Amino acid sequence: MSDQNESTTGIRTLFSELRRRRVLRTTAIYVAAAWVLLQVVDVVLPVFDIDDQYQRYFTLALFAGLPATIILSWLFDIDFGKITRTETVQNGAVAIISTEPDVDLKERMKEFPVRSVAVMPFANVGGNAENEFFSDGIAEELINLLSKSQDLNVAARTSSFSFKQADATVQQIALRLGVRHILEGSVRREQSRVRISAQLIDALTGFQGWASSYDRELTDIFAVQDEISSSIVCALSAAIDQTIGGTQSLRPEVPTSDIEAYQLYLRGMYLWQRRGTQAITAAIKALEQAIEIDPNFVDAISLLAVATAILHEYSGTDRELDFKRADAHATRALALAPTTCMAHAVKGYIAVRRWQWNESEAYFKYALSHDSNEPLVHQWYSNFLNDVGLHELALAHALKAYQADRLSPQANNILALNFLLLGDNESAIKHVSAAREFGLGGAVPDWVEYFVRLRESNFTAAVAVMTNSLRQRNASDGWVQPTVDAIADRSKIEAALCELSRARENTELGTSLAFMQYVLLGAGDQAFAVANTQLGDHSLIHLWLFLSEASPLREDPRFSALMGKMLITEYWEQHGYPKVMASLTS
């Protein structure tokens, strides 16, 4: 059975390589072109009384050219307008074959820190799809370990794993992620043994800086991870004749003594990263099973806290019930390991949603003091800072998350919103496009573009953006055109307000989206009335009141009263008022 699996895997790998190298496409184009030429020759030669033997010679020449085309396509990437040397794959890892980046690529790469690396998803060798979570988990654990080195810039999991099925060269990956080095490898797991191969490639030079293979019992998996991470740190140190880690382990102690619990944890991590209601629910189940086996498994408990806290955003479950469970998990993790970064971050995330501003900030700052490289914490802290009007500081943390996780849809989404709040429309649209490209399915990118198009007075585009967004969610869009018409022409505000009121009464327009339109229209009576209905469950998206379009509403005494009810005024009085409030505090 093992031989059969390996045979199947070999065939699958061969076809994967044929597709990656564009051999199949090039061959198909060649055959089609040859067929057309043969038809032309068949028609043209008789016209000029040319002997039929020349047609046979021409046909033989075309057949002889097919093998040469296949060989050249295997060795070179033949694309429209260019021919470049193709990279080869060994044990699921990409190895460079004397591929020199062009001068422009070299110059751009020189800007990247030497101590920077992206860990690619390790290839699952052996053909058993059930081991996919295991190979992904090994790579992700290496990302987590390497991120603990304060002198090392490590691309986050979301960004590096986005290339899992991509047809991209090492240089292209490095340029997209802003790193100098690429770590790739493979994992073969058979019963109680595991074989891990890894290699570190300098994307600038194309040379392999370090490579090794490990054939161990599954119970030695943590030692192998430590060896690989320490070797990478040493290899990057040697590149600049400095020591930043030596052979010291980046992990103070193994996370669990039970390998079954660890495998369940890897499965939970694999599912959590996929997001979505079903994936997160399954991740929670796997993590709960891991904790049942090892009640002191802090990493599993912390990840369970994260997944439970976020569940409501995807499933529509009761937010407060999810928060209660998540907080209990975070508390349990902190009881076992008081400095656990993500447990503090979860408590900060919950606190900010409950408008407990000082408490939330304290949790986030503590989390970042113990792990300054975790992009999710920077994202959550950036959201907090935007909520209290500190948009410049929020941008700094959003950029830190983005620099670590450039291809994360959420990192780009947060940046887009941040740039919108700061009035940088061009940058906002840039990151809206990136968020969509990388798969964000939420409405925030649509909202950001809607605001930007209104600022540009491109009212037709604004209507199209909002209408398309609503239709994708099977929501009514009848109110959009009248609202945009009123923003363009203030004399039409009453008609717009009547349409919005009608849509709300018929449940065609949700409260949060209605609040956004009232803010844009400068309709203070309606905006503050709606806002006060959302105070009890803390669902008010008050960010729209910090937009430049809302500056007249911030002069309204009801705005100050609202900020007081949300306890934001209390926070400002303790820490200082933000720039967005300068006109009211000068």
The CATH number given to whatever domain includes residue 341 is 1.25.40.10
Assess whether 106 and 228 both reside in one domain: yes
Q: What letter represents residue 517's amino acid?
A: Q
- Number of domains composing the chain: 3
Percent of the chain with pLDDT over 70: 76
Task: For residues 542-564, give the mean pLDDT.
Answer: 95
Assess whether 151 and 63 both reside in one domain: no
Assess whether 100 and 233 both reside in one domain: yes
Domain boundary among 85, 100, 115: 85
Could you report the per-residue pLDDT of 345-401, keeping only the tens digit for each?
999 999 999 999 999 999 999 999 988 888 899 999 999 999 999 999 999 999 999
pLDDT in the model for residue 197: 81
Domain boundary among 370, 400, 422: 370
For the entire predicted model, the pTM comes to 0.71
- Evaluate if residue 325 carries a pLDDT over 90: yes
Assess whether 354 and 311 both reside in one domain: yes
Domain boundary among 188, 223, 252: 252
pLDDT in the model for residue 395: 96
Q: Is residue 45 part of a domain?
A: yes
Assess whether 114 and 223 both reside in one domain: yes
Could you report the per-residue pLDDT of 228-251, keeping only the tens digit for each?
666 666 666 555 434 444 444 455
Q: Is residue 505 part of a domain?
A: no
At 239, which CATH number?
3.40.50.10070
Assess whether 312 and 171 both reside in one domain: no
Assess whether 142 and 99 both reside in one domain: yes
Q: Are 528 and 316 spatial neighbours (Cβ–Cβ below 8 Å)?
A: no
Assess whether 106 and 232 both reside in one domain: yes
**β-strand partners of 124:** 187
Cα→Cα distances 275→278, 283, 439, 446, 498, Å: 8, 9, 11, 20, 39
- Evaluate if residue 432 carries a pLDDT over 50: yes
Could you report the per-residue pLDDT of 61-70, keeping only the tens digit for each?
777 777 777 6
Task: For residues 133-150, give the mean pLDDT.
Answer: 75
- Evaluate if residue 45 carries a pLDDT over 70: no
pLDDT in the model for residue 449: 96
Alpha carbons 34 and 40: distance in angstroms, whole number: 10
pLDDT in the model for residue 473: 84
Alpha carbons 412 and 431: distance in angstroms, whole number: 5
Assess whether 167 and 244 both reside in one domain: yes
Assess whether 286 and 191 both reside in one domain: no
Burial class (CB in 10 A: 0-12, 13-18, 19+), 30: middle
User: Residue 47's domain spans which residues?
Assistant: 22-85
Candidate from 125-134, 188-197, 268-277, 454-463 with smallest mean pLDDT = 125-134
Q: What letter represents residue 63's amino acid?
A: F
Assess whether 99 and 245 both reside in one domain: yes
